Amino acid sequence: MADGARKRRGERPVAPSEQAWLVEVAEGASRDAGGVPVQLLGEYLTLLADAAIHGRRPRRGELDAVGLLGRRAAEQGISAGRVVQLYLSAARRLWQDLPPVVLSRDREAVRSAATAVLHVVDEAVATLAEAYAVARRDLVRREETLRRELVDDLLRGDSDLGGLVERAEPFGLDLARVHQVALAAPSQRLPDADTAITALEAVMFDRLGDRDVLVATKEGLLVVLVPAETAPADRLKPPPDVAGQLGWLIHRELTRLPRGRPWRVSVGRPHPGLYGIARSYEEAREALSMAGRLQVDTPVVHAHDLLIYRVLLRDQPAMVDLVHAVLDPLTRARGGAEPLLTTLETYFDTGGVATESARRLHLAIRTVTYRLERIKALTGYDPTDPTHRFTLNAAVLGAKALNWPQQQLPGQT
C-alpha cells in the first residue's frame, strides 16, 4: 500500500528500512511455500508489523483484502495448503526478524506484541481459507456447468467447430484426434454422480493420461470420452486381463461403488474429428438399447459386435416380413416356437456343429438332430444346407432383435 493511501486511512507510513525488511521476509516465505507468488501476501506483512510494533489489530477492509487474495490464489490453481504455508511462514519469519528494540521491551510488552501478531495471523488465515474455499466451490460449479454444456454439444455434433475447439482446450481435448465414447448405465437411477465420475477419472487418467479424457453425465448415464489410439479394442467376452480393456475397465471400477450395481457398459466404435465423437456416442447408445432388447447376458457390449442387428433393423418392415414368412410356421410345433428357435440360434452360434449344440443346450444329440429335422419340415428350410442357412440365420437374428415370439411382430395382428 502506498504511503499516501496509508496516511488517508490514518495509518503510519512504512519506513524504507522497514520496507526492505518486509520484502526480505516475503521472499523467504515464498521460498518456504514452494515459490508461491509474494503478491498473494498483499499488505499482510504490514498488518503483522503494525501488530508487533504498535499492537494494532486489522480493520474489516484489510481482512476483506486478504479474502480477495484467497480467491485469487484459488483462481490461479495454487493449493490451499501452500497459500496457508505462505502466510504462516511469513508470520514466523517476521517474528524471528523483529527489530531488537521490539524484543528488548519488558516481558509484558513482548507478550502483548505476540498476542497482537497471533490475532492477526488467526483472523487473516481464517479469512484467507474461507475465501479460498468459496472461490473453489464457485470454480467447481462453473467447471461442472461448462463441462456439461461441452459434453452436450460434443455428443450432439455441434456445428460450431471453432467455438468447440476453444471450449474443449481447457479440458485437454484435441478434437482433431480419433476418439471413442463409452456409456455406463446403472441398474436404477444414477447414484452419487460425483463419486462415480471421480472414480472413473482416477482410473482413466492413470491408464490414458489426463489429456483427451473426459468423464461426465448425460440423461442418467455416465459418459466416458477417450482417445481411441490408446484405448484397446473391446469384445463381448472378457479377456484374461480385463483391466486392459476399456469397457471392462469401466465396469470393474463402477462395480466397486456401493450403489448402481449391476452396471451395463457399452462402447462405441472409434471415429475421427468432432462428428466422430457424436457418431461414437450414438453407436454406444444404440448398443446399450440393443443389448437390453436382445437380453444380452454380458455386462459389457461393443457397438462393433452388434452391427448386424443395425443392418437387419434398418428396414424393419422387411425384417418383420422375413421373420413372419420363415419362422412363423414354428409356432405350430408342440411346445411352441421357442425351443426350436433356441436350438437354431445355438446351432448357428456353434458353426453348425450338432454335438456342441447339444452340449450347450444340455440335450441329447438325438434331440438336437430331431429338432433340426422338425424345423426343416415346418419351414421348408434345412438348417444343415448352406444355401438355406443364411436365410434361416438372418431370420433368427431378426427374431431376436424384434423379441419374437415373446412379443408380437410389429404390424401383425
- 250: domain CATH number? 3.30.70
293, 324: one domain: no
8, 126: one domain: yes
Q: Which of 114, 138, 162 is the last residue of a domain?
A: 138
The pLDDT value recorded for residue 274 is: 84
Judge contact between 264 and 294, C-beta under 8 A.
no
- Residue 145, domain member (yes or no): no
The pLDDT value recorded for residue 413 is: 57
SS3 content of the chain, % helix, strand, coil (to 5): 65, 5, 30
- Residue 12, domain member (yes or no): yes
The pLDDT value recorded for residue 236 is: 41
* C-alpha span between 29 and 86 (Å, rounded): 5
Element (H, E) at 59: none
7, 127: one domain: yes
Q: Which domain holds residue 258?
A: 170-304
- Residue 154, domain member (yes or no): no
- Residue 411, domain member (yes or no): no
- Give pLDDT tens digits along the chain (413 positions): 445 444 444 454 555 556 788 888 899 999 999 999 999 999 999 898 888 888 888 889 999 999 999 999 988 888 889 999 999 999 999 888 776 545 556 677 778 888 888 999 999 999 999 999 888 888 777 777 887 888 888 888 766 777 888 888 777 788 888 899 999 998 877 767 778 888 888 888 877 776 778 888 888 889 999 888 644 444 444 443 443 488 998 999 888 888 777 889 999 999 988 888 999 999 999 889 888 877 777 899 888 888 777 777 777 888 888 888 999 999 998 888 999 999 999 999 898 899 999 999 999 999 999 999 999 999 999 998 888 888 898 888 888 888 888 888 887 65
- Residue 151, domain member (yes or no): no
What residues does 227 pair with on adjacent strands? 179
Phi, psi of 241 (to 5 degrees): -105, 85
319, 274: one domain: no
252, 341: one domain: no
* C-alpha span between 204 and 231 (Å, rounded): 10
State the Rg of the chain over Cα: 35
396, 289: one domain: no
300, 333: one domain: no
Quote the Cα angle for 163-72-2, to 5°. Answer: 130
- Residue 68, domain member (yes or no): yes
15, 78: one domain: yes
- Residue 406, domain member (yes or no): no
* C-alpha span between 289 and 256 (Å, rounded): 24
Q: Which of 279, 304, 329 is the last residue of a domain?
A: 304
The CATH number linked to 340 is 1.10.10.2840
49, 126: one domain: yes
* C-alpha span between 52 and 111 (Å, rounded): 10
| Count: domains in the chain | 3
- Residue 84, domain member (yes or no): yes
195, 288: one domain: yes
The alpha helices in 209-353, defined as continuous H runs, are 246-255, 273-294, 307-314, 316-327, 338-349
Q: Which of 117, 138, 159 is the last residue of a domain?
A: 138
The single residue listed with the C-alpha cell 489426463 is: 210
185 CB-near residues (< 8 Å, 6+ apart): 220, 221, 222, 263, 264, 265, 266, 288
The pLDDT value recorded for residue 243 is: 37
288, 332: one domain: no
105, 232: one domain: no
